[in-house]
Amino acid sequence: MHKFFIDPSQKDGVIIHISGEDYLHMTKSLRMKIGEKVEVSDCKGMEYITKITKIDKDNILLEIIEERENDTETFIEISLYQGIPKGSKMDLIIQKSVELGVKNIIPVNTHRTIVEIDKKENKKIQRWQKISEEAAKQSKRGVIPQIMPLMKIKDIKNELIKNDLNLIAYEGEVDISLKQALLSNDKAKRIGIVIGPEGGLEEEEVEYLKSLGAIPISLGTRILRTETAGISIIAMLTYHYEM
């Protein structure tokens, strides 16, 4: 069964209105027909099993036949502050982080970031948001994680203070593991993860983040690539809190 996300304003009683890109995807790409079932999420915690009752030239009507609360979201909120990597690595990071349960992703410009996206930032963010939406559909998420605007690391303070716990993946840390950091902060419900780009974060940047209360952690004796580190931590957090 195909899944789609809607704004609550599209729901009118037991009828859901579909138009725009989703309409084109249903009719042109999927070639859906009257009577087919569609799974719909309102991004507010509710899921609906619907069936197509009408297809017009620019609108589809879905009738709700079953509704339930979404149960695929973690009870912790994970924010990933990702130093922008080269090439298409960010696509993979977004896709897998969304599948694993991240709440939002903030692209971060660090000293070692070599990718210049300022002039095309809006297009990049829109493209990354689309990747997030597709990954959310595939993994049956109840919400679409947001890709936030690009942020410089020196401006990250106002984001980090929203979290109960902030972690820095830092190859220079040898004493504190992820497990130790979690055990010392066992009531944390909002967790931020800071990952550097290729080459990692500079010591100055780590010291700045530490001054904001973030905790550097070791991910073991092996050095992980930037596209592996954040995904690994999210997976470990999910295991720690859900399994």
Residue closest to 46 by CA, chosen among 79, 73, 76: 73
Q: Are 152 and 170 in contact (CB under 8 A)?
A: no
Pick the range with the lowest mean pLDDT from 10-14, 57-61, 116-120, 150-154. 116-120
Q: Each residue of 21-38: pLDDT tens digit? A: 999 999 999 999 999 999
d(CA 154, CA 194): 13
Average pLDDT along the chain: 94
What percent of the chain has pLDDT above 70?
99
pLDDT at residue 147 above 90?
yes
The 60-69 sheet, strands edge to edge: 2-5, 37-41, 46-55, 60-69, 15-18, 11-12
Predicted local distance difference test score (pLDDT) of residue 118:
64
Secondary structure class of 95 (helix, strand, coil): helix
Q: Which two tokens stand for residue 160?
A: 């980090």
Counting Cβ atoms within 10 Å, is residue 201 exposed (0-12), middle (13-18) or buried (19+)?
Answer: buried
Question: Could you tell me the sign of the dihedral formed by the alpha carbons of 168, 190, 232, 102, in that order?
Answer: negative
- The domain limits of the chain are 2-69, 77-242
The single-letter DSSP state of residue 177 is B
Predicted local distance difference test score (pLDDT) of residue 108:
96
Which H or E run includes 238?
helix 226-242
Is domain 2-69 classified as CATH 3.30.1950.10? no
Q: Which CATH number fits domain 77-242: 3.40.1280.10, 3.40.720.10, 3.20.20.70, 3.30.1330.120?
A: 3.40.1280.10
Secondary structure class of 218 (helix, strand, coil): strand
d(CA 150, CA 98): 18
CATH topology match: 2-69 vs 77-242: no
pLDDT at residue 119 above 70?
no
d(CA 165, CA 181): 9
What residue type is assigned to position 92 of the chain? L
pLDDT at residue 117 above 80?
no
Q: Which two tokens stand for residue 239?
A: 């295991």
